[in-house]
Structure 1
Amino acid sequence: MTDANRTTAPLVGEAMKKAAVAWISVPGGPALALWCVHLEEALLVVSGPGEQAAPGLADATRAQVTLRGDHGGRIVTWPADVTRVTPGTEQWETVAPLVAAKRLNAPGPAADLAARWAADGCALNRLAPTGEQLAGTALPADSLAEPPRETPAVRATRKPLHLHRVRRR
């Protein structure tokens, strides 16, 4: 389906306009909270060296996007077609500076940031709705909670050898 023939559901369109962070999952991977920018009826996500980590997104053709409200509740979940914006193309020259201008805490001007993305091999991906909505109109029967992922930052705490008593004089 081409972008010209695709219609975005009103709920998806409004949620994308207000989104600064989206939960994005590629097939076989967990959902990750990623910074995004809404532009031309799609979400744009930058990942790679010096930017956010999004394993598998740069090579994916499909993804699932979940947008949440101000209080953390899910608004809508929809499937997306993923296309990578290639440096040096007309689309890159148009889109990359606009995305770089929205990047918070960016070091230097937007043009320099977009040039760094191209030089470092960062992926600028465009996630466009496929036109079908997965969830959002009905509440799920289960909690949708996932177990915590393994990480080296978590470790078991040891109990102290002695419990100290404070002596009063």
Structure 2
Amino acid sequence: MERTTTASPADFLDRALVEESAKKSGLLWVQPAGQPHARPLWHAWHDGAVIVVGDGAEQPLHGLAAGTTATLTVRSKDKGGRLVTFPATVTAVAPGTPAWDGAVEELKGKRLNAPDTDTIGDRWARECRILRLEPAGPLAPHPDGALTATPVPTPATTRKPIPAGLPKLLFKKKQKR
């Protein structure tokens, strides 16, 4: 007898949370498996997965490669706080396929200040990679701690006494003529 797995209502709610948060956020943090730090990437949500374009003249995709996994953290667009963290499998989208065309259309709308909006798909096909990061597994629990790190020691400083005349310049009242 063949065993079938059924998804629980919690699985559907988790999937909906991932999709909705990824659609509304313009930035997510991606930590490829084996990498010590997460990096911010702009993205789009398309056909059930996060899609990113990078390398070439676009954002660097350090450590992301087809066949690997990554941990994605989606942030709130308005407050910038962590919404959800989940594992994802990484696959490459091949140029010239229907999946490529759909991904380019979604990403093109999210790409700000592109120098070549009309021919961006051709440039991406020549120079860049489009990767599909599909959710794979349960959501990660929210961390208990603050996740803050101690700053790296440095002799650099930005604190100096303000010039004596600065308050007069800033708070000078306009004289009536």
TM-score using structure 1 length: 0.74
Is 2:27 the counterpart of 1:27? no
1:51 paired residue number? 58
Residue 104 of structure 1 aligns to which amino acid in structure 2?
L
Q: Give, in whole Å, the separation in 1 of the partners of 2:82 and 2:104.
A: 29
1:162 paired residue number? none
Identity %: 37
Question: What does 1:20-99 correspond to in 2, within 5 Å?
Answer: 20-29=26-35, 30-59=37-66, 61-69=68-76, 70-99=78-107
Q: CA RMSD in A?
A: 2.6
Deviations 1:76-126 (A, max 9, x none): 10001111101122321232233123211111234x111101111x11011
Number of residue equivalences: 146
Q: Secondary structure at the match of 1:125?
A: strand
- Contact 1:9/1:131 (8 A) holds in 2: no
Q: Which runs of 5+ in 1 are unaligned?
A: 159-165
Deviations 1:17-48 (A, max 9, x none): 21110000101221001101111221111110
Q: Give, in whole Å, the separation in 2 of the partners of 1:60 and 1:31.
A: 18
Question: What does 1:1-169 correspond to in 2, within 5 Å?
Answer: 9-29=15-35, 30-59=37-66, 61-69=68-76, 70-110=78-118, 112-120=119-127, 122-136=128-142, 140-146=143-149, 156-157=155-156
Residue 52 of structure 1 aligns to which amino acid in structure 2?
Q
Q: Secondary structure at the match of 2:92?
A: strand
Q: Give, in whole Å, the separation in 2 of the partners of 1:47 and 1:155.
A: 32
Q: Which runs of 5+ in 2 are unaligned?
A: 1-6, 158-163, 165-177
Residue 50 of structure 1 aligns to which amino acid in structure 2?
A
Q: Give the deviation of 1:12 after TM superposition.
A: 1.4
Residue 65 of structure 1 aligns to which amino acid in structure 2?
L
Residue 118 of structure 1 aligns to which amino acid in structure 2?
A
TM-score using structure 2 length: 0.71
1:161 paired residue number? none
Q: Secondary structure at the match of 2:18?
A: helix
Q: Secondary structure at the match of 1:98?
A: helix
Q: Secondary structure at the match of 2:28?
A: strand
- Contact 1:78/1:135 (8 A) holds in 2: no
CA separation of 1:21/1:60 partners in 2, compared to 1, >3 Å: closer, same or farther?
farther
Q: Give the deviation of 1:13 after TM superposition.
A: 1.9
Flag the structure with higher helix content. 2
